[in-house]
Amino acid sequence: MSLVYSERLLLASTNGVWSAYVVPSAKRAVVMTVAAANAGTATAQALVAVGGWTVFSRSVPVGASVLDTSMRLVAYAGERIEGRPSGAGCAIIAAGFLFDDVAGARAPEYVESDGPVLADQWEELYATQ
């Protein structure tokens, strides 16, 4: 039976330092919520990256908090969920689910592309126009 855990995946609170959670082997994480709060004396910036891509970048005013709950961001085994507050007194929390991944799925391979390839008949049609 595959298990699902509700987890705080990341807590980052050191000014200017990236904090990271590495998804364990045989697991898959889904970030559902990112929250940032600023108890400092100046506006701060909160950054979160999943699998090497910045997915959350917010300015956080003094005494305020921001929340994004519309996420469904997958991180595979070995990938990192990272956060970096830039401002003393700023903290970031990322929460979501951790799943057993018995199949050992890996992140899809991404390649650069010029767009979709057309079916052969369409390529021939366009080549003659």
In a domain, 118, yes or no: no
Q: Does residue 55 sit within a domain?
A: yes
Q: Is residue 128 part of a domain?
A: no
Q: Is residue 9 part of a domain?
A: yes
Tokens of 18: 């990236």
Task: Report if residue 39 sits inside a domain.
Answer: yes
Q: How many domains does the chain have?
A: 1
| Residue 121 belongs to a domain | no
Strand pairing category for 90-100 and 4-12:
antiparallel
Asked if 85 contacts 49 with a C-beta cutoff of 8 angstroms, the reply is no
In a domain, 92, yes or no: yes
What is the pLDDT tens value at each position of the chain, 129 positions in all?
A: 677 878 899 999 999 999 999 999 999 999 999 999 999 999 999 999 999 999 999 999 999 988 887 899 999 999 999 999 999 999 999 999 999 987 777 776 766 766 555 555 555 555 655
- The domain in which residue 78 lies consists of 4-107
